[in-house]
C-alpha cells in the first residue's frame, strides 16, 4: 500500500476493465470540519488533489472518507461536485467559487454519506462517474453538507498539507440553528487540513494489454541520493515532485539502476519513474 497521497491498494481485472484504488492522505488526526461539518445545518469543503498524487488516469466511480470516531448513526446529506483544475492550492486568503465558475463543476453524487459504524471507511458510489483524464491537471472535490447532528458527530481523518489545499464554509451557527446556506458566492476559508480521500478508478484496457507490475520498480533514499531500479526494463526518466505538485528535479537515463543526487531538506517526495516500455509508476518516499 502506498500511503500519503498515493496509495495503490488494489489492482484487479474485471472483463476488460482495470480497477485501481488510490488513497490520498495518510494523516491520522481527525476533525468534524471536513469533508462535511455536521455541527452546522450548512457547510462546504473544497479540496484539491494533484494529478501527481493521483498518478493514474481513469474514471472515478467511487470515493470514500475515513471516519475516525462519532457515536451518531445519522447519515449526513451531501452533494459532491468534481472538476479538473490547473489550481494546485487553495491560496492563503478567502475566496468565492462564483456562479460562473461553479458551472464548470460536475455533480457526481447527491445523497447521504454512510455513517453506520463508529469508525471505518465510508464509501459512496458516484451516480455520475467522473473522468480524470489528465495527470498534468488536478482534481477539485467540493462537498456540500446539509445535515446538522446534535451529538456524536462524525469525525474524519485528515492530512496536514505543506500548502493550503483545502477550504471550508459553515453557516456560522453551531447547534443546528443556521439559516445561511452555502451558495457559489459564499466565502471559503483556506486551511492546512485536507480530508483523506480514497478514489476508485476504472480504466479500459486494450486487447492484449497487461496490468502493470508496479512492484517491479523500486525507489529508495539514502545519503542524499535517490536510487531507482527495475528488474524488467531500463529506466528512461525520473521526475521528483513535492506534495504540492511542484517539480524539484528531473533526470533522463537508460539503465536498470539510476542514482540521482538531491540537495534537499528532509521532506516527503513523490517520485515518478518512467521505463523504456512507457510504464509510469509514482512512489512516495521520505527523503
pLDDT of 207 higher than 60: no
Mean pLDDT of the region 252-260: 72
Domain span at residue 231 reads 214-286
Q: Is the pTM for the entire model greater than 0.75?
A: no
Give yes or no: residues 200 and 218 share one domain.
no
Give yes or no: residues 263 and 146 share one domain.
no
Give yes or no: residues 227 and 195 share one domain.
no
Mean pLDDT of the region 210-232: 72
The pLDDT-based confidence of 27 (bands split at 50, 70, 90) is very high
Dihedral of CA atoms 98, 134, 140, 214 in degrees, nearest 10, equals 180
Mean pLDDT of the region 268-272: 81
Give yes or no: residues 236 and 137 share one domain.
no
pLDDT of 35 higher than 80: yes
Give yes or no: residues 62 and 130 share one domain.
yes
Phi, psi of 4 (to 5 degrees): 55, 90
Give yes or no: residues 110 and 226 share one domain.
no
Is there a domain that residue 179 lies in? yes
Give yes or no: residues 193 and 274 share one domain.
no
Q: Which residue has the higher pLDDT, 17 or 262?
A: 262
Mean pLDDT of the region 68-93: 96
> Which 3-state string (H, E, C) describes the chain?
CCCCCCEEEEEEEECCEEEEEEEECCCCEEECCCCCCCCCCCEEEEEEECHHHHCCCEEEEEEEEEEEECCCCCCCEEEEEEEEECCCCCCCCCECCCHHHHCCCEEEEEEECCCCCCCEEEEEEEEEEEEECCCCCEEEEEEEECCCCCCCCCEEEEEECCCCCEEEEECCCCCCCCCCCCCCCCCEEEECEEECEEEEEEEECCCCCCCCCHHHEEEEEECCEEEEEECCCCEEEEEEECCCCCEEEEEEEEECEEEEECCCCCCEEEEEEEECCCCEEEEEEEC
pLDDT of 210 higher than 70: no
Q: What is the pLDDT of residue 18?
A: 63
Give yes or no: residues 15 and 119 share one domain.
yes
Give yes or no: residues 200 and 224 share one domain.
no
Q: What is the pLDDT of residue 20?
A: 84
Structural domain count of the chain: 2
Q: Which residue has the higher pLDDT, 222 or 6?
A: 222
Largest CA distance in the chain: 64
Amino acid at each position: 500500500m502506498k500511503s500519503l497521497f498515493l496509495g495503490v491498494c488494489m489492482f484487479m481485472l474485471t472483463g476488460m476493465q482495470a480497477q485501481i484504488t488510490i488513497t490520498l492522505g495518510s494523516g491520522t488526526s481527525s476533525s468534524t470540519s471536513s469533508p462535511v461539518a455536521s455541527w452546522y445545518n450548512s457547510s462546504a469543503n473544497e479540496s484539491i488533489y494533484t494529478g501527481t498524487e493521483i498518478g493514474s488516469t481513469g474514471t472515478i466511480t467511487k470515493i470514500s472518507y475515513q471516519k475516525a470516531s462519532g457515536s451518531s448513526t445519522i447519515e449526513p446529506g451531501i452533494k459532491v461536485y468534481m472538476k479538473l483544475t490547473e489550481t494546485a492550492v487553495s491560496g492563503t486568503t478567502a475566496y468565492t467559487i462564483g456562479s460562473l465558475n461553479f458551472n464548470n463543476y460536475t455533480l457526481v453524487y447527491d445523497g447521504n454519506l454512510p455513517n453506520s459504524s463508529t469508525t471505518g471507511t465510508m464509501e459512496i458510489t458516484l451516480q455520475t462517474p467522473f473522468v480524470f483524464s489528465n495527470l498534468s491537471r488536478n482534481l477539485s472535490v467540493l462537498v456540500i453538507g446539509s445535515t446538522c447532528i446534535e451529538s456524536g458527530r462524525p469525525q474524519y481523518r485528515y492530512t496536514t498539507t505543506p500548502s493550503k489545499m483545502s477550504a471550508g464554509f459553515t453557516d456560522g451557527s453551531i447547534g443546528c440553528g443556521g439559516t445561511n446556506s452555502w451558495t457559489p458566492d459564499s466565502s471559503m476559508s483556506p486551511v492546512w487540513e485536507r480530508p483523506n480521500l480514497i478514489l476508485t478508478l476504472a480504466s479500459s484496457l486494450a486487447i492484449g494489454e497487461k496490468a502493470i507490475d508496479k512492484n517491479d520498480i523500486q525507489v529508495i533514499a539514502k545519503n542524499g541520493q535517490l536510487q531507482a531500479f527495475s528488474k524488467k526494463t531500463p529506466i528512461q526518466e525520473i521526475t521528483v515532485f513535492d506534495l504540492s505538485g511542484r517539480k524539484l528535479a528531473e533526470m533522463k537515463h537508460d539503465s536498470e539502476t539510476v542514482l540521482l543526487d538531491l540537495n534537499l531538506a528532509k521532506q516527503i517526495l513523490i517520485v515518478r519513474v518512467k521505463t523504456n516500455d512507457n510504464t509510469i509508476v509514482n512512489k512516495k518516499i521520505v527523503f
